[in-house]
Amino acid sequence: MKKKIAFIIQLYGLEINGGAEYHCRLIAEKLKDIYDVEVLTSCAKSSVLWENEYAEGVSYIDDVTVRRFPTDKPRDRRKLRRMNQKLRKMQTHQKVLRSLGLLGLYEKVVPDGITNADYEKWVEYQGPFLPRLIDYIKEKQANYDALIFFTYLYYPTIEGLKIAPEKSILIPTAHDEWQIHFPLFESVFTLPKAILYNTLSEKRLVNRLFNNENIHSAIAAVGIEQEQAHVKYHVNELLKTNDDYLIYIGRVDVHKGCQLLCDHFLKYKKATGKPLKLIFAGKLFMEKTIDPDIIYVGFVDEDVKITLLQNAMALVIPSLYESLSLVTLESMAQGIPVIANKDCEVLKDHIENSHSGFLFNDYESFKTAMDAVLDPAFDKATLIANGKKYVAENYTWEVTIQKYKDAIDYISRH
């Protein structure tokens, strides 16, 4: 009889082509033939407001059982913004006082302006607020051999881990963002029986912040398909242009560095006059920069995504915060150079360890990378070979699946 496992994730659906949600779907689909797999998630399609768009109840996506629960209330962005301002202000004050050696004295003399109730409100405002999902886990957790929580940041993980930590596995997808320093996350990172990290740099960060080296852990990211995917489309038909182009794939958002990318790209175009386009493939969460050389194609299915990626001059990832960056690895596997933000430790590790791309942290370093990628004399073949070798040696499904099996076996034995 197969062991029964549940993945708990804030969003789940075919319309997500990046991030932890896509990562979770890949793992769930790979494990469905080994275990009895369910996904416990919301009825939302977007994290902007967490509005209920899917029907409540059980459905199936690629033969994986998906059990959806409605959010009790959409995200109130005004309340969340005010709470974020309050928490960030206190965090800044504490950082300054700590640097001056005055934090201990301050905390003795002045009552803390942030209470546990404030953090509880933040969790609720952040969402997705799914008390019925939590009630379901409380009632049915005995039916599952393992509960696998994806991403540390959201209500389902924060509350769900408290229910049966002895059979819980956390995939934190953590990076050094300001929220990870909240006191409430100390329990999130010390409760689970096992933790599976995406990268060594993520593990180092979490161990440094929470001193949780004693928890069973492994580096288990994803497997990346090495075969060249069959292309169903011609790129010129999709884009209506014959110009060379850069591509960004993922959530098109200021917080992912997309506005910075627009600014650098347009400055480069103005300086060089090269016939070049910038393609954004993904849902739009920011105001468009209107320019004839910037093309927004929106969310695209996998076949279109691969077609666009395979024909790009380079993939650009300007984000400061990534816990893995699946699309970076997919790009390397497809033989496409990557230009990535040097100030993101995960991306920096990928580029420096693979020798298959470029790093930038200002316009000048962006320009240097662009000049190299567009230079006909550039040794692209070595770059391609390096990227494919890096993915083949570090990101195979055989290794990834075995590490998940090891973690599930571990919690079953203990």
**Residues forming a β-bridge with 119:** none
User: Residue 287 CB: number of other CB atoms within 10 A?
Assistant: 8
Three state DSSP letters for 11-73: CCCCCCCCHHHHHHHHHHHHHCCCCEEEEEEECECCCCCCCECCCCEEEEECCEEEEEECCCC
CA–CA distance, 232 with 359 (Å, rounded to integer): 32
Residue type, 116: N
- pLDDT recorded at residue 79: 93
Integer angstrom CA distances of residue 125 from 88, 188, 363, 397, 403: 15, 18, 36, 37, 34
Domain ranges (residues) in the chain: 4-73+127-223+397-413, 77-121, 235-394
Question: Tell me: the pLDDT tens digits for 322-379?
Answer: 888 989 999 999 999 999 999 999 999 999 999 999 999 999 999 999 999 999 988 8
- State the alpha helices, DSSP H only, in 127-257: 131-140, 155-160, 185-188, 200-210, 235-239
- pLDDT recorded at residue 108: 46
**Per-residue pLDDT at 244 exceeds 60:** yes
Q: Quote the distance between the C-alpha of residue 158 and its chain's center.
A: 17
Q: Could you tell me if 113 and 140 are in contact, meaning their C-beta atoms sit under 8 angstroms apart?
A: no
CA–CA distance, 278 with 243 (Å, rounded to integer): 10
- Going by C-alpha positions, the residue among 19, 18, 17, 14 that lies closest to residue 39 is 14
**Residues forming a β-bridge with 340:** 317, 359
Q: Number of helices (H) and strands (E), helices first, in the chain?
A: 16, 14
Question: Tell me: the pLDDT tens digits for 12-43?
Answer: 999 887 789 999 999 999 999 999 999 999 99
Domain 235-394 adopts which CATH fold? Rossmann fold (3.40.50)
pTM listed for this prediction: 0.84
Question: Can 4-73+127-223+397-413 and 235-394 be said to share one CATH topology?
Answer: yes
Q: Which of 122-131, 148-157, 234-243, 264-273 is least confident?
A: 234-243
Mean pLDDT of 290-297: 96
What class is the 4-73+127-223+397-413 domain? alpha beta
Q: Quote the distance between the C-alpha of residue 67 and its chain's center.
A: 22
